[in-house]
Amino acid sequence: MALHPDRLFPIEPDARGIARRLFSAVERLPIIAPHGHTDPLWYANDEAFPDPASLFVKPDHYIFRMLYSQGVRLEDLGVPRQDGGPVEADGRKIWRLFAKNFYLFRGTPSRLWFEHALETVFGIEERLGEKNADALYDRIAERLTEPSMRPRALYKQFGIEVISTTDAATDQLAAHDAILKSGWDGRVIPAYRPDAVVDASRTDFITNVEDFVALAGTKLDYEGYLEAHRVRRAYFKRRGATSSDHGHPNARTADLPVSAASALFERVLKGASPEDADLFRAQMLTEMARMSIEDGLVMQIHPGSYRNHNPALFERFGTDKGADIPRSTGYVEELKPLLDAFGNDPRLTLVLFTLDETSYSRELAPLAGHYPALRLGPAWWFHDSPEGMRRFRELTTETAGFYNTVGFNDDTRAYMSIPARHDMARRVDCAYLARLVADHRLEEDEAVEIAHDLAYRLAKQTYKL
């Protein structure tokens, strides 16, 4: 299936023509990737990717989630077991299983991303299936040995201008340092993700905090803990970080008096009740906002995922195995303590994400269309898809406009999918704009400007890149 130049554009010829013109103006803009999960070691070591299965199947929870839902065992896909037990090691076998079940991805973005990579990176225009599984495996495997397929070469080929990884607060960022020292001119920056030292419901929380203050050289009390955040944020900033990121079960914030916050910290250090853990996460969001005003890091909240919903799978294979399920997420009461404190402060940029699309028009667009500190992140995770991105625009634009949104985030650990995801986002935004032009809500010269803003400028500006 060769990529069609009009894919994802409106079907009506007039609107399609407009979309083509808009897209041609943004198609080749550099990629700004302000939030993602690629491994900084790829850029540091610049080693060849192993076989096709290790590239496309084993690390991609979008892929094995779907296969698993239809009865394929994760062991047979080579997903490593927590206990180190045997799993399929033959990349070709894994690839065949994927190929045989490739029809399951019909209608999904994974299908479109995969085929974009196949064609633009590997020059393959065939549809994957049982019959050509081996042939395509061989072609990809061969290509992967070429120098042009190394991470740094691909970074250039993909047109990336800057990419942010996401890193634990205790990460020493050795890979980032190695990249900087190497003299390579790619820009790979870290983002400060302190969940492991903020979420007191984790079994490793207390150890994490101990390591954290030790690393920062501060005391193990509340003041020392906050100071450790300041120390580590500065450490990240020196390596190029411009943002922090916070993955919480909900969007709750709190703004306790220092004495109460300090007492809470002492309690959670002894093993937190669920309510104390929730309150501590809430308090820390407000503390992070306070620090953002001081140090200028853009703050991101990614709330609303019930992580590791499937305990049997979690025990066998660990986190990020496709068993994270969104749930209803409120923002109006939840964000109020933080917003009461800092919502009117133009020095703060707080980017909100959601997995609960009902919040787009009801809560997020009205909030972002009022508070100077708030911006809306793009359609996220399950909603990083053609219909999901369309709904995001249809449900937020009329209340928040385009300029309270921040452009696209690819949010991925699947390197090959990065250009595909940006391509999709640009197409869907151009399709949306083309419809507004075609029914005369907007003029085409404005749409060209907006398309450019959504594809490039807003991400660069919002994330201070």
Residues between 9 and 28 that touch its own copies (CB under 8 A): 9-12, 14-15
| Binding residue for its own copies, selected from 402, 408, 415, 463, defined by CB under 8 A | 402
Stretch that binds its own copies, among 36-44, 49-57, 80-88, 436-444 (CB under 8 A): 436-444
| Cα 195–Cα 244–Cα 65 angle in degrees, nearest 5 | 60
Q: Indicate whether 241 belongs to the interface with its own copies (CB under 8 A).
A: no
DSSP 77: G
Number of residues in contact with its own copies, rule: CB under 8 A? 93
* Between 245 and 429, CB nearer to its own copies: 429
In sequence order, what DSSP letters do the residues of 394-408 get, joined into one string?
HHHHHHHTTTTB---
* Window 125 to 154, contacts with its own copies (CB under 8 A): 127
Interface mask (CB under 8 A) for its own copies, residues 28-67, using x and -?
A: -------------------------------------xx-
In the complex, the smallest distance separating the C-beta of residue 315 from its own copies, rounded to whole angstroms, is 11
Given the complex with its own copies, which of 285 and 428 has the nearer CB atom? 428
Complex with its own copies: residue 220 or 341, whichever CB lies closer: 341
Alpha helices in 5-59 (DSSP H): 13-26, 40-45, 52-56
Residue from 53, 55, 200, 339 binding its own copies (CB under 8 A): 339
Sheet with 167-168, strands from edge to edge, namely 167-168, 192-193, 243-248, 298-303, 350-352, 374-376
Least distance (Å) between residue 51 CB and its own copies: 25
Which residue, among 268, 261, 267, has the nearest Cα to 283 in the 3D structure?
Answer: 261
Out of 47, 148, 328, 464, the residue judged to bind its own copies by CB under 8 A: 328
DSSP 85-144: ------HHHHHHHHHHTGGGGTTSHHHHHHHHHHHHHH---SPP-TTTHHHHHHHHHHHH
Separation between Cα atoms, residue 208 and residue 84, nearest integer Å:
24
Tokens at residue 21, please?
A: 């013109």
Distance of alpha carbon 258 from the chain centroid: 33
Shortest distance in whole angstroms from residue 254 CB to its own copies = 16
Q: Which of 320, 332, 413, 457 binds its own copies (CB under 8 A)?
A: 332
Contacts of 241 (CB under 8 A, 6+ apart): 164, 189, 190, 191, 192, 233, 297
Identity of the residue, 199 or 356, whose beta carbon is nearer to its own copies in the bound complex: 356
Q: Which of 31, 33, 112, 282 binds its own copies (CB under 8 A)?
A: 112
Euclidean distance between CA atoms 13 and 216, whole angstroms: 60
Q: Is 442 in the site for its own copies (CB under 8 A)?
A: yes
According to the binding rule CB under 8 A, does residue 386 interact with its own copies? yes
Q: Applying CB under 8 A, which of residues 24, 47, 48, 69 lies at the interface with its own copies? A: 69
**b/e 359-370 (16+ beta carbons within 10 angstroms → b):** bbbbbbbbbbee
Whole-number minimum distance, CB 332 to its own copies, in Å?
4
- Provide, rounded to whole angstroms, the least separation between the CB of residue 405 and its own copies: 10
Is 275 a binder of its own copies (CB under 8 A)?
Answer: no
Tally the residues of the chain: 465
Which residues are registered as beta bridge partners of 325? 306
The reply on whether position 454 binds its own copies by CB under 8 A is: no
| 398 lies in the binding site for its own copies (CB under 8 A) | yes
Residues 341-380 interacting with its own copies (rule: CB under 8 A): 343-344, 346, 355-358, 361-363, 365-372, 374
Q: What is the DSSP secondary-structure string of 106-120?
A: TTSHHHHHHHHHHHH
By CB under 8 A, is residue 224 in contact with its own copies? no
Which of 146, 96, 93 has its CA nearest to residue 121?
A: 146
**Closest C-alpha to 208, from 198, 216, 217:** 198
Beta-sheet strands, E only, within 151-233: 160-164, 167-168, 188-189, 192-193
Determine, following the binding rule CB under 8 A, whether residue 404 of this chain makes contact with its own copies.
yes
User: In this complex, which beta carbon is closest to its own copies, that of residue 374 or of residue 414?
Assistant: 374
Rounded CA-CA distance 284/265 in Å is 10
395 near its own copies (CB under 8 A) = yes
Q: What is the nearest approach in angstroms of its own copies to the Cβ of residue 6?
A: 6
Using CB under 8 A, which of 130, 134, 266, 439 touches its own copies? 439
- Figure out which of the listed residues 45, 54, 108, 201 binds its own copies, where binding follows CB under 8 A: 108
Q: Scan residues 288-327 and list those touching its own copies (CB under 8 A).
A: 306, 309-313, 322-327
Minimum gap (Å) between residue 391 Cβ and its own copies: 8
Segment (H or E) for 247? strand 243-248
